[in-house]
A and B are shown apart, each in its own frame.
Chain A
């Protein structure tokens, strides 16, 4: 049973650039959430996608956007990158929005902004 997968593993960008991160949920899961984890901090909730729509959003600017595809996979896009966007970006999948909220995490994408 495949768990949550994310790509790429590492990414280096420069300020002002745009980046796209990808996530495939655990088999049988239909909900994807994205988190940002800065060094030495706990993950912070960015947003959650269910039925191809953004359902919940944390305290992140509009530079952070996403998409969910019919096969439940998801993308996180960040525009106009800032140095402070350097972090581990985690994807978590779960089953059903409004139901049992047990979330399983992928290994993350480490983004470095220079």
Chain B
């Protein structure tokens, strides 16, 4: 079992729909949770960063963390064709606790149809 599981998709939705992207993880030491967006042949771009369980909202994006279920989500409202990209979840343990590198999921390829 991989430490972080993420459905690679592709996930295709019509423009304007609400998108839900998810990851599950197995390592209880993970405390920091991130979502990155990666366009083809580019480096990942940080979208959201959360520490505790609960919701965090930034514009059209909402990140949700449920540590008890080891499950994180990213919601995109009013999706646009420019949101078409690969979305990577990433997580890490406590700083300096021997796990400063990020552990990534495989990424979900999202397609927003105009």
Contact = CB atoms under 8 A, between A and B. Distances in A.
Given A42-B88, A42-B107, A98-B96, A103 B102 contact: yes
Contacts, number: 70
Interface stretch (A11-19, A43-51, A65-73, A75-83): A43-51
Label chain B's interface by main secondary structure.
Answer: loop
Contacts of A4: 43
Chain B interface size, as a band, is: 20 to 34
B60 interface: no
A61 interface: no
B36 interface: yes
Given A45-B102, A48-B100, 14 more contacts: A33-B101, A42-B90, A48-B101, A56-B101, A90-B44, A97-B95, A102-B34, A102-B46, A102-B49, A103-B34, A103-B102, A104-B46, A107-B43, A110-B41
Interface of A: 4, 33, 35, 40-45, 47-48, 55-56, 58, 88, 90, 92, 97-108, 110
